Amino acid sequence: MSEELVCRAPAKTNLVLEVTARRKDGYHEIDTIIQELELADEVRVTVGGGSGVSVEGAFAAGVPLDETNLALKAAMMLAERCGRSFANVAIHLVKRIPAAGGLGGGASDAAAVLTLLQSPWGASDADLLDVAHNVGSDEAFFLHGGTARARGRGERVQKLPGLGPHGVVLFVPPTTIERKTARMFAALDLHPLDHGGLAEAFAHRERGPFASSDVHNAFERVAFDVFDGLHGLWVDLETRIGDAVRLCGAGPTLFWIGAPGAATRVASAAGGARCTVIATATSSTL
């Protein structure tokens, strides 16, 4: 008899993203403050009926259906760790988070699948965390959610007090690029890296209002060189809304953050720009 399990898989943005060193293993040392958003995919896992991964939703285009799909990869790795068969597990994703946009949608889907399979497969918290570390860099954050600081390559996660309610508006360009994150790090390697300290300061700040002007993202040094047309969109959006916009993660999505009551105005003011506008908000739970 089959069992269908369902949960949400939230998007994220980075409020601080410092890249402080190059590592011998090919990764970079980062120190980042990650914030969960209300915008979320829906993840359905059916145990005992069907197999593989299927996708629907506004941002289904371009989502892989093979083993490069992070949700599928996570399920296969957890099955191996727990001595379970993956042959009768079907994953269905309702994609509301733009793919490859810097919002962590694929990593969040993977973490959601791990969470859903934990009980039926008898996996421990340590099992989930180990698999998350092996799937990618953001998956560990999504096992925690809320507001958190992540270090190393992103796998060392420290929960922080919640940011509190803030409005967020996302501006999603019509296209992204292949091997985006690798290309962004390669471009950043041609520039001085961060000295660090901003994420540390955020971790000890008093809870209060946060604005786009408070965001730091190391990738903004190179984003205009890597993504064609992004600078023009950036300037157009700031002119339209009369406020700063910033880069989400490794891009190319841009975002505004500020008072909850201002998000509707900002989204409306951005109408007509060459991007998809999504109004959302910060969230404190997974």
CATH of the domain at 190: 3.30.70.890
Rounded Cα gap, residues 141 and 157, in angstroms: 6
Domain count, the chain: 2
The answer to whether residue 286 sits within a structural domain is: no
Rounded Cα gap, residues 41 and 95, in angstroms: 5
Rounded Cα gap, residues 116 and 197, in angstroms: 36
Q: Can you tell me which residue has the tokens 């796998």? A: 155
> Is pTM, for the whole model, over 0.85?
yes
Q: 31, 127, 138, 194: which one is catalytic?
A: 138
Catalytic annotation on 12? yes
pLDDT in tens, the chain (286 residues): 678 899 999 999 999 999 999 988 888 999 999 999 999 999 999 998 778 999 999 999 989 999 999 999 999 999 999 999 888 899 999 999 998 899 999 999 999 999 999 999 999 999 999 999 999 989 999 999 999 999 998 889 999 999 999 999 999 999 888 888 999 999 999 999 999 999 999 999 988 899 999 999 999 999 999 999 999 999 999 999 999 999 999 999 999 999 999 999 999 999 999 999 999 999 975 4
Q: Can you tell me which residue has the tokens 């259906």? A: 65
Structure tokens at 68: 């490069």
The beta-carbon contacts of 116-122 under 8 Å, at least 24 apart in sequence, are: 116/5, 116/6, 116/7, 116/43, 116/45, 117/5, 117/45, 117/47, 117/75, 117/78, 117/89, 120/3, 120/5, 120/47, 121/78, 121/79, 121/82, 121/84, 122/82
Amino acid 206: pLDDT: 84
The candidate with the shortest Cα–Cα distance to 106, out of 139, 154, 140, 146, is 139
Amino acid 1: pLDDT: 61
Is 128 in the same domain as 23?
yes
Beta bridge partners of 18: 31
Is 14 in the same domain as 148?
yes
Query: Half-sphere exposure of 130 toward its Cβ, with a 13 Å CA cutoff?
Result: 12
DSSP annotation of 282: B
Q: 12, 73, 95, 180: which one is catalytic?
A: 12
Rounded Cα gap, residues 79 and 138, in angstroms: 20
Is 54 in the same domain as 154?
yes
Rounded Cα gap, residues 59 and 61, in angstroms: 6
- Backbone Cα Rg of the chain: 19
Amino acid 286: pLDDT: 43
Amino acid 27: pLDDT: 84
Is 207 in the same domain as 67?
no
Expressed as residue numbers, the domain containing 215 is: 167-281
Catalytic annotation on 189? no
